[in-house]
């Protein structure tokens, strides 16, 4: 309980360490009748500990220098402030840098210690505490990095699960859409046949016409029930926001730029009004191509070109990434883009660009 509370209040820990450092260092200076100069120097060795989290290397230097002065002038050795600073360097700095800083500090302290005691084994015993402080700090840093890596991995797995769930929902809705198409197409065919038969026999055989109209009514009611059942399956998860089109391309570009890829958009020719379904499909082609660029291509730049010409719209997305990393052409995204373009009788290609990078190109025919 106490440890958790201290973790949540790091400044309290800093002040406690400062008080303990002052008690040992300043207390030793006062005890040896060095109140005139020794106490201020000892205080200067302790106060930098308040900045140890933001400036660990500077704190180590600021605590080691007064400690060296006290050791050289009065042969008094109080290692606590330097030990705390070295622990902080090992905890917060990269391992190589913390090793270099620790070695430099130990070498600086070793010279006056040897001059005072004249015995290397005795000096080693006085410096071993610094090695322990460094090892503890390095262990804390390694454990924090390991915990951070685990948290990032868990977050990535959660995002992947959410993505897969969303994709499964989209696939299910696509299946329901196909079922809706089958229901409507079949029912309308039956209704057309029955209505035509009723019209043909109405003058001569009213009873037969009435039977045909009853079949029309039954077929229509059955289709309505089936539609209600299928739509109820997607109504809770469906988004009723307006479907995007090329007029929302700027918003998509901003999102991709925020993810780290520079995107440029060029429009050639005179913009023509597009049917809503085609406008949505063109937007989805650009969106999926840029998504592949972010996920697979390791690219730094992508160029989006919209080319309006009489009777057609061409959409091209080219990036400067690794072409082999942009998918093998059999991914769901590329298959979906190819199907969207094919729905309108257009053409679709995706693959390595001749001058490097990856190119996605779609051609949508437009009615005159």
CATH classification for the domain delimited by 246-365, as one of 3.30.565.10, 3.40.50.300, 3.30.1380.10, 3.90.76.10: 3.30.565.10
Q: Are 216 and 195 in contact (CB under 8 A)?
A: yes
**What pLDDT is recorded for position 19?**
84
pTM over 0.75: no
Q: In the Cβ-directed half-sphere of 83, how many Cα atoms lie within 13 Å?
A: 18
Q: Which two tokens stand for residue 277?
A: 């379904």
Q: Which two tokens stand for residue 313?
A: 């719209």
**What pLDDT is recorded for position 269?**
92
Comparing 35-39, 59-63, 97-101, 184-188, the range with the smallest average pLDDT is: 184-188
3-state secondary structure of 330: coil
Q: Are 365 and 312 in contact (CB under 8 A)?
A: yes
Q: Which two tokens stand for residue 225?
A: 């029930």
Of 250 and 190, more confident: 250
3-state secondary structure of 247: helix
- Residue among 79, 70, 71, 89 nearest 130 (CA): 79
In the predicted structure, residue 226 carries a pLDDT above the cut 70: no
- In the chain, where are the structural domains located? 2-118, 165-235, 246-365
Distance CA 109, CA 123 (A): 9
Kindly report the backbone phi and psi dihedral angles of residue 265, in degrees, each rounded to the nearest multiple of 5, phi listed first.
-120, 130
Q: Are 39 and 26 in contact (CB under 8 A)?
A: yes
| pLDDT confidence tier of residue 294, bands split at 50, 70 and 90 | confident
Whole-angstrom Cα Rg for the chain: 38
- Residue among 41, 119, 130 nearest 86 (CA): 130
Kindly report the backbone phi and psi dihedral angles of residue 222, in degrees, each rounded to the nearest multiple of 5, phi listed first.
-60, -40
**What pLDDT is recorded for position 238?**
47
CATH classification for the domain delimited by 165-235, as one of 1.10.3720.10, 1.20.5.1930, 3.30.1330.10, 1.10.620.20: 1.20.5.1930
| pLDDT confidence tier of residue 323, bands split at 50, 70 and 90 | low
Burial 142-159 (b: 16+ CB within 10 A, else e): eeeeeeeeeeeeeeeeee
């Amino acid at each position: 309980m106490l440890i958790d509370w201290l973790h949540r209040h790091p400044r309290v820990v800093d002040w406690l360490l400062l008080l303990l450092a002052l008690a040992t260092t300043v207390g030793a200076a006062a005890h040896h009748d060095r109140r005139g100069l020794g106490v201020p120097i000892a205080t200067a060795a302790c106060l930098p500990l308040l900045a140890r989290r933001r400036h660990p290397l500077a704190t180590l230097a600021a605590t080691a220098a007064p400690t060296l002065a006290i050791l050289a002038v009065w042969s008094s050795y109080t290692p606590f402030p330097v030990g705390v600073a070295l622990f902080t360097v090992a905890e917060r700095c990269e391992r190589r840098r913390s090793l270099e800083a620790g070695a430099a500090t130990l070498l600086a302290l070793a010279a006056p210690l040897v001059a005072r005691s004249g015995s290397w084994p005795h000096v080693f015993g006085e410096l071993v505490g610094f090695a322990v402080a460094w090892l503890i700090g390095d262990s804390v840093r390694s454990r924090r990095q390991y915990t951070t890596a685990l948290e990032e991995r868990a977050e990535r797995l959660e995002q992947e699960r959410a993505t897969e769930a969303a994709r499964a929902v989209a696939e299910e809705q696509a299946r329901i859409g196909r079922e809706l198409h089958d229901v409507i197409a079949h029912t309308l065919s039956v209704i057309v046949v029955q209505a035509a038969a009723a019209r043909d026999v109405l003058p001569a055989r009213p009873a037969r016409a009435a039977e045909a109209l009853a079949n029309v009514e039954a077929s229509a009611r059955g289709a309505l029930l089936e539609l209600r059942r299928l739509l109820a399956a997607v109504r809770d998860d469906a988004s009723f926001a307006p479907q995007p089109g090329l007029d929302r391309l700027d918003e998509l570009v901003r999102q991709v730029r925020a993810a780290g890829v520079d995107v440029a958009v060029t429009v050639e020719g005179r913009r023509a009004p597009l049917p809503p379904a085609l406008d949505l499909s063109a937007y989805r082609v650009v969106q999926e191509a840029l998504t592949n660029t972010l996920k697979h291509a390791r690219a730094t730049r992508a160029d989006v070109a919209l080319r309006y010409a009489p009777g057609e719209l061409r959409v091209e997305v080219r990036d400067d990434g690794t072409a082999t990393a942009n998918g093998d052409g059999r991914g769901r995204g590329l298959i979906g883009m190819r199907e969207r373009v094919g729905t309108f009788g257009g053409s679709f290609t995706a693959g390595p660009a001749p001058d490097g990078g990856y190119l996605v190109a779609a051609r949508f025919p437009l009615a005159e």
